[in-house]
Amino acid sequence: MKKRVLIITYYWPPSGGAGVQRWLKFSKYLPDFDWEPVIYTPENPEVPVDDPSLLEDVRPGLEVIKQPILEPYSFYKKFIGQKKGERVNAAFLSENKAPGFKEKLSVWIRGNFFIPDSRRFWIRPSIRFLKKYLEEHPVDAIVSTGPPHSMHLIALALKKKLDIPWLADFRDPWTNIDFYPDLNLTPLADAKHRNLERKVITSCDKMVVVSRQMKTEFEELGGKNIQVITNGFDDADVGEETPESDKKFSIVHAGSLPPNRNPRILWKVLQELVTATPELADSLQIKLVGKVDISVLEDIRSHQLEPYLKLVEYVPHDEVMKILQQAQVLLLAINQTPNAKGILTGKIFEYMAACRPVLTIGPTDGDVANILNDVQAGLISDFTDEEGLKKNILEFFNRFREGNLSVNSEGIHQYSRKNLTSILAEHLNKITS
């Protein structure tokens, strides 16, 4: 008989973007390992994008419980002059203009008054609702996934009231996240964040994080019983037929490009290369798929690279893999932040599944570098290594001209969503045995 696990997640289809993928895929494969998931998620979330195609990944018969959530975004939009129907971007990304005084003030208010985040008003109603639900429909374990970390506070309260084994999953850090300093917290607000974080990581029965560096950071904060389960790729997302490759020497980035992920060194190096190498200038295409901060576009223009630029609006996830497989080179830009070594985006695994070479800019001793080297999926250079980056681009370009630009991505099966779910199921078994 299958065990039941309640999964508390803010992001769920038809919401799109990176945040929804992890637990959508876990819930898809958990029944194969004798766990029946029950999803608890907001009825009316404020999300950057919608992607109805992800509904196809929801396992038939899956129980999904939705409750309304009250969020302050309608007031936020009115305050900064944003239209009611416009979406709020994550990671301080602004597509049309640089943040002004009102936007900066709103960030300060968000960090200091909406603790741990703007979904805090969903905590108490959810505790009341779920306590009653769980008393009538028992589960064997609870999972909370954040950010937003309000999800963890819901699970924390249920753990105290009902003593159900609890696994806390961190897709990103809490106080160690890259934009934490940008919140401009008062000492009191900072202390509140850290106190809540400490309660969560010391009260759960198991912590799961997505990278080794995150594991180390949480251990230093007092976290125990921490397991690394990375993000991954779903074999079902990779089509049986490989689409024809781009004719141009395309360097493709999929996903959002906020300011701290802007690879300024790349624009500088590419400007030098197209000036010095006419063959590259004739073949180059820079393809950015998804939301792009205005600072990135301004840097591209300032380096005279706009003629090579192709912008692609957000596309459904089921079309992303085709674009990745068509690319000549896939660009992975790591956030230039103090926690850069531990940043391990889900994007890298889908890049590897596309079997196209990955051009990475980031720490050469970080988690991404270790995985790239492990599966021989691409080349990496540090944030300031212009010569190394230039060498890597030229190596890829020469192989493109010779018609042998490909990678084997050996050993990537360990990062398949189904294999990762088997590991998750083992740890759920351990905390419930």
> Which pLDDT band, with edges at 50, 70 and 90, does 409 fall under?
confident
> Which pLDDT band, with edges at 50, 70 and 90, does 148 fall under?
very high
pLDDT for residue 98: 54
Q: Please list the residues that pair with 209 across neighbouring strands.
A: 170, 228
For residues 385, 388, 394, 399, the Cα torsion angle rounded to the nearest 10 degrees is -130
How far, CA to CA in Å, does 326 sit from each of 241, 264, 313? Answer: 12, 25, 17
Does position 76 have pLDDT exceeding 70, yes or no?
A: no
Does position 326 have pLDDT exceeding 90, yes or no?
A: yes
Q: Please list the residues that pair with 286 across neighbouring strands.
A: 251, 309
Q: What's the N-to-C CA distance of the chain in angstroms?
A: 14
- Residues 107-125, mean pLDDT to the nearest whole number: 87
Does position 253 have pLDDT exceeding 50, yes or no?
A: yes
> Which pLDDT band, with edges at 50, 70 and 90, does 315 fall under?
confident
- Residues 31-38, mean pLDDT to the nearest whole number: 98
Q: Which domains does the chain have, with CATH numbers?
A: 3-70+116-232+416-432 (3.40.50.2000), 238-412 (3.40.50.2000)
Min mean pLDDT across 10-14, 80-84, 179-183 is at: 80-84
Q: What number of other Cβ atoms are within 10 A of residue 305's Cβ?
A: 18
Residue type, 233: F
- Residues 297-315, mean pLDDT to the nearest whole number: 94
Reading phi first (left if > 0) and then psi (alpha if -120 to 50, else beta), residue 24 is in: alpha
- Which residues, in sequence order, are CB contacts of 252 under 8 Å at separation 6+? 246, 287, 288, 289, 323, 324, 326, 327, 328, 329, 330, 331
* pLDDT tens-place string over residues 349-396: 999 999 999 999 999 999 999 999 888 899 999 999 999 999 999 999
- Residues 18-34, mean pLDDT to the nearest whole number: 95
Residue type, 417: R
The b/e string for 319-329 (b: 16+ C-beta within 10 A; e otherwise) is ebbbbbbbbbb
- Residues 189-205, mean pLDDT to the nearest whole number: 97
Token readout for 157 is 């309260």
Min mean pLDDT across 34-48, 102-116, 130-144, 298-312 is at: 102-116
Residue type, 247: K
Token readout for 51 is 């992607």
Token readout for 320 is 């992303």
- Cα separation, 171 vs 208, in Å, equals 8
pLDDT for residue 426: 98
Confirm if 349 and 232 have CB atoms less than 8 A apart. Answer: yes
pLDDT for residue 14: 94
pLDDT for residue 72: 72
Q: Helices (DSSP H) in 305-385: which residue ranges?
A: 317-326, 347-353, 367-375
User: Among residues of the chain, what percentage have pLDDT more than 70?
Assistant: 92
Token readout for 186 is 């008062």
Q: What number of other Cβ atoms are within 10 A of residue 221's Cβ?
A: 16
